[in-house]
């Protein structure tokens, strides 16, 4: 059995780690490089760094940040935000990133997923999908959650997998920052219907929520931000809890 992964996510705005509720009301959570180094030491399996305003503000994620992160980490990390081409991704890979995350650019140009997978391999390509429920449908949003699209979560996720995505990072915008638990039913549907790993994001508030998303939600990884940033849950304690509950984790 593959070990379930615990992944702190660092949302970056203006060079600082921030965290909000339902994608708004952001507050400062610290320096992303320093936080990443701490998580690396404390047992995180991977890290995700997302420049949450890069696409909205038409900026590129700075390769300098990737270089700084790589110099301070000994675990894999994904970086995303403003990646719109193979050339953008190549700069980040050369700067030390293990994977890139694409979101808005993939919706605008789905062929980018294939281009990245062919150039670097599927394991390098994470497609992030932000979705919220609208009239009982999971609707995909882009530009940091600001714009609704005509895409539906499950069909879009399947298309991403078919085009060569190595993982899906699914964030429930309805659950994000609420600490009320992950969107387990939607996550389980993705896990049941797709042949690639699913990273669940949005709603973590307790250790039980991670147990639920790994069992009920069938997720391959659980991603969270504020509970780690503000030391509400320590990763070592979370992994010990999950192991005691019979969940396979790296300790």
Q: Provide the annotated active-site residues.
A: 11, 130
DSSP 8-state secondary structure symbol assigned to residue 124: G
Contact between 49 and 32 under an 8 Å Cβ cutoff? The reply is yes
Residues 6 or more apart whose CB falls under 8 angstroms from that of 135 comprise none
Q: How far apart are CA 200 and CA 202, in angstroms?
A: 7
Angle CA 128–187–233, to nearest 5: 80
Contact between 222 and 7 under an 8 Å Cβ cutoff? The reply is yes
Kindly tell me the burial class for residue 24, based on how many C-beta atoms sit within 10 Å of its own C-beta (0-12, 13-18, 19 or more): exposed
Contact between 69 and 82 under an 8 Å Cβ cutoff? The reply is no
């Amino acid at each position: 059995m593959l070990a379930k992964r615990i992944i702190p996510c660092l949302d970056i705005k203006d060079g600082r780690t921030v965290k909000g509720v339902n994608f708004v009301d952001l507050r400062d959570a610290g320096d992303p490089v320093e936080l990443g180094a701490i998580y690396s030491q404390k047992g995180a399996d991977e890290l995700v760094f997302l420049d949450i305003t890069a696409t909205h503000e038409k900026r590129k994620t700075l390769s300098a940040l990737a270089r700084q992160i790589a110099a301070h980490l000994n675990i894999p990390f994904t970086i995303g935000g403003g990646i719109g081409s193979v050339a953008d991704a190549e700069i980040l890979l050369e700067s030390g990133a293990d994977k890139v995350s694409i979101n808005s650019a993939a919706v605008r140009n789905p062929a980018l997923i294939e281009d990245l997978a062919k150039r670097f391999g599927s394991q390098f390509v994470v497609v992030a999908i932000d979705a919220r429920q609208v009239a009982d449908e999971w609707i995909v949003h882009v530009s940091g959650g600001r714009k609704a699209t005509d895409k539906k979560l499950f069909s879009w996720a399947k298309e991403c997998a078919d085009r060569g995505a190595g993982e899906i990072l699914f964030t429930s915008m309805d659950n994000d920052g609420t600490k009320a638990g992950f969107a387990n039913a939607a996550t389980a549907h993705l896990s049941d219907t797709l042949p690639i790993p699913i990273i669940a994001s949005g709603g973590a508030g307790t250790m039980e929520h991670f147990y639920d998303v790994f069992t009920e939600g069938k997720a391959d990884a659980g991603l969270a931000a504020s509970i780690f940033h503000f030391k509400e849950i320590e990763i070592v304690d979370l992994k010990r809890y999950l192991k005691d509950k019979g969940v396979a984790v790296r300790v």
